[in-house]
Amino acid sequence: MQNYNFFFHIRPRKVPGQALRFTLTYGLGGAAALMIFVQLVTGLLLNFAYEPVSVHAYLSVQHIQTEQVYGKLIRNLHHWTGHFLVIVIYLHLLRVFFSGAYFGCRRRSWYSGLVLLLLVLLANFTGYLLPWDQLAFWAVTIASSMLPYIPVFGVFLQKLILGGAEVSEETLHIFHSFHTTLLPLTFLFCMFYHFWRIRKSGGIKIKKQSKQEILPVIPELMTRELAFAAVVLCFLLLFSMFIDAPLTAIANPNLTPVSVKAPWYFLWLQELLLHMQPTLALCVLPGAFAVFLTLLPFIDQTTEKPSKLTKLIMITFVSIIIILTITGIWFRGDGMKLVLPW
């Protein structure tokens, strides 16, 4: 077993038989890890042909799609995996929440998870601009125009992210560097820490039983994980083979489209802005949700299970976010007017 020393820092040698049950985790954490790996590999490949200068960025993406061997498939994979990743980690967060697996020694796994959530959103957001088409340009413009409504440091934050007052050549440089160097490195570090913390807290949370069957990770758990990884990969590949990532006309700062929407995972914030006073919209609900997620490991500590009230608060937040996102995607037409999707 000497050769596996590094591996066993993050994986145990033996696990209780109960921990093999699929319905305990639904494979969501593992699927997220696999998808990040897919992003690292496809991202590295795309970066060979991508040119992060505004006059060339769009053409280089077109070149990737039409001239490079499997270029279209690799771009589609990178695009769709990035988007599915957002859904998968939200589901993973909910699974961890409902199993009450964030108390005591699992607190650090929860917090490192929250950092990973932020990183996934940032990776998607910075990647979104890179194709430099109308969709990307205006989606990033509208999303970043929400920042100044954050009190005290909003304007500073906007300038820091965009490298100026609006989306420009400078923004493309900043987003590309962030997307391809700092973010992947931070990802690797945080993921390793996340896995190590899970290992340190005795693996995933299971019900305590007096008699427990103990099984070796290799092959019992490993074969199941590999089979599940194959299913997830097949799904991503098939999806990317049949559905192309969008690429609209080249970005034109002087031509505002009739309806400008933020990337779908930030649409609930844009939707809130249409209903409330901006500072209130961007601070009260998102701020309350962030505080709730941060304080969660300290609520209901004695019972180590989320109480009915805690569950109700979580379900309310999640329902509001889902309803606002669906409204933003399907029920907003030209000029962000409410329309029926059929």
The residues binding ligand HEM (CB under 6 A) are 25, 28-30, 32-33, 36, 39-40, 43-44, 46-47, 50, 61, 75, 78-79, 82, 85, 89, 92-93, 96, 99, 101-102, 106, 109-110, 113-114, 116-117, 120, 123-124, 127-128, 130-131, 179-180, 184, 187, 191, 194, 198, 204-205, 245
Query: 29 or 328, CB closer to ligand HEM?
Result: 29
Query: 235 or 331, CB closer to ligand HEM?
Result: 235
Query: 256 or 294, CB closer to ligand HEM?
Result: 294
CA distance 117 to 113: 6
Query: 35 or 281, CB closer to ligand HEM?
Result: 35
Q: Nearest approach, Cβ of 101 to ligand HEM (angstroms)?
A: 3
CA distance 92 to 110: 11
Q: Nearest approach, Cβ of 251 to ligand HEM (angstroms)?
A: 12
Contact 322, 314 (CB under 8 A): no
Q: How many residues does the chain have?
A: 342
Contact 331, 342 (CB under 8 A): no
CA distance 296 to 341: 37
Question: Counting beta carbons within 10 angstroms of the beta carbon of residue 320, is it exposed (0 to 12), middle (13 to 18) or buried (19 or more)?
Answer: middle
Query: 40 or 229, CB closer to ligand HEM?
Result: 40
Can you name the residues that pair with 216 across neighbouring β-strands? 14
Q: Nearest approach, Cβ of 204 to ligand HEM (angstroms)?
A: 4
Q: Nearest approach, Cβ of 294 to ligand HEM (angstroms)?
A: 10
Query: 87 or 312, CB closer to ligand HEM?
Result: 87
If you search the block for the tokens 């560097």, which residue do you land on?
Answer: 177
If you search the block for the tokens 């590295």, which residue do you land on?
Answer: 44
Q: Nearest approach, Cβ of 262 to ligand HEM (angstroms)?
A: 14
Structure tokens at 128: 């979104």
Q: What is the helix (H) or strand (E) element at residue 215, kind and residue range?
A: strand 214-216
Q: Nearest approach, Cβ of 110 to ligand HEM (angstroms)?
A: 4
